[in-house]
Amino acid sequence: MKKVDVLVIGAGAAGCFSAIRASESFKEAKITILERSSKALAKVKISGGGRCNVTNVISEPAELSKHYPRGERFLKKAFYQFSSNDMKAWLEQRNIPLKLYPDGCYFPVSNDSQTIIDCFLNEIRKNGIELLLNQRVESVRKLDSGMFEVTTPEMVFQAAKVILTTGGQPKISGFELLKSFDLKIVAPVPSLFTFNMPDESVKELMGIVQENASVKIVGQKWSSNGPLLITHWGMSGPAVLKCSAFGARILEEKQYRSKIAVNWTGEESQETVRETIRDFVQSNKLVANSPLYEIKTRLWNYLTEKAGIPAQFKCSELTAKHQNKLLEVLMNDLYSMEGKTTFKEEFVTAGGIDLNEIHVQTMESKKYPGLFFAGEVMDIDGVTGGFNFQAAWTTAAIAGKHVLQNN
């Protein structure tokens, strides 16, 4: 049996960072990380297409927290302790400069996720943290002494404190190791996926991007904005991924069959679009040569045909009925979603440890003092853009800072 001060379970982004932050705050502490696989930081390696979208330029807590379908209110408070600018500064202090892209995403200047991994592994070594690979934790329980007993098939550990950072679990069985605790777990469902539309002819326009579209699940009040990409199986792009994240639970309930409404104009006000159409009908040009809202010609022709406008029509020939139909197709264009495809670049699981179980100031369990959480194991997930890693960095920084505070 091995005794340590802090045992971190899982050597992903949250696990490694919480261990490093704990050793920075508590220099004498004996800290061990247990990882079930043969490599630490495996997801960091493949993240952002091998380049690792480390974080986002947004750092103001209220603004940043809006990018989390699950965990917004919790994270807003957490970001006051450690936000994206803190992570950027931490990396830069370790000679890892980041490059800002026009969409607000930060990547390492090296454009290689290995840079982040090397930095973390170096800090782990430098701070004397023990990293044990191929150690799958099977159970965690609290002893009468107040210590935690953690077992893997080969080893038994006793730890004063435990930080659980086992990441997103696609199935509820992924929380088996916690069965001795009475913790509420929100059932996992996938997030960040693209929409399959097998019966929609719009697929024939694959490759077309509408830069400023908005996407809505019919019946819901909210919509998601951003670029929309038409693919050979349906629709993808940031607007669709964001919609899948905010609608993760609703879409799961609907078995991924739903009506989706696309607003190709990016405009919220019907009156503004109606005004644009009124100006449009003043023109003597062909409708086909006069796309509105920077819609690509092929898509424009598809939409005007859907609005029942004959191909050879001039703008000035549109009747009031045509104008109404065009408005509807531009702003509330309906498609049938039937199934989903997991986005290959980035996917996360919604669900996990219920945030009501956790003190946001410390990341400690409310019911089981000494047990801390960080990262995607909690019921937190974000949209694409470096937000998922930022949630991991923030919660890990807080857990690491407080883990031995009351010793």
Residues in contact with ligand FAD by CB under 6 A are 9-15, 34-37, 42-43, 46-48, 52-53, 136-137, 165-167, 177, 345-348, 375-377, 386-389, 392
| Residues, the chain | 407
CA-only gyration radius of the chain, Å:
25
- In three-state secondary structure terms, 194 is strand
Q: Which is closer to ligand FAD, CB of 188 or CB of 266? A: 188
Q: What share of the chain is helix, strand, coil (3-state, %, to 5)?
A: 35, 25, 40
Q: How far is the CB of 65 from ligand FAD (least distance, A)?
A: 15
Pairwise CA distance, residues 311 & 285, whole Å: 12
Cα-to-chain-centroid distance, residue 27: 33
Q: Which is nearer to ligand FAD, 223 or 390 (CB)?
A: 390
164 or 315: whose CB is closer to ligand FAD?
164
**Given the complex with ligand FAD, which of 167 and 400 has the nearer CB atom?**
167
Helices (DSSP H) in 166-253: which residue ranges? 238-246, 248-253
Q: Tell me the closest approach of the beta carbon of residue 11 to ligand FAD, in angstroms.
A: 5
In sequence order, the 6+-apart residues with CB closer than 8 A to the CB of 329 are: 303, 304, 306, 307
Q: Which residue is nearest to ligand FAD (CB)?
A: 12
Query: Which residue, 181 or 347, is less far from ligand FAD as judged by CB?
Result: 347
Q: Name the 3-class secondary structure at 302.
A: helix
- State in angstroms the smallest separation of the CB of 59 from ligand FAD: 14
First to last CA, the chain: 22
Longest dimension (CA), the chain: 85
> Given the complex with ligand FAD, which of 115 and 210 has the nearer CB atom?
115
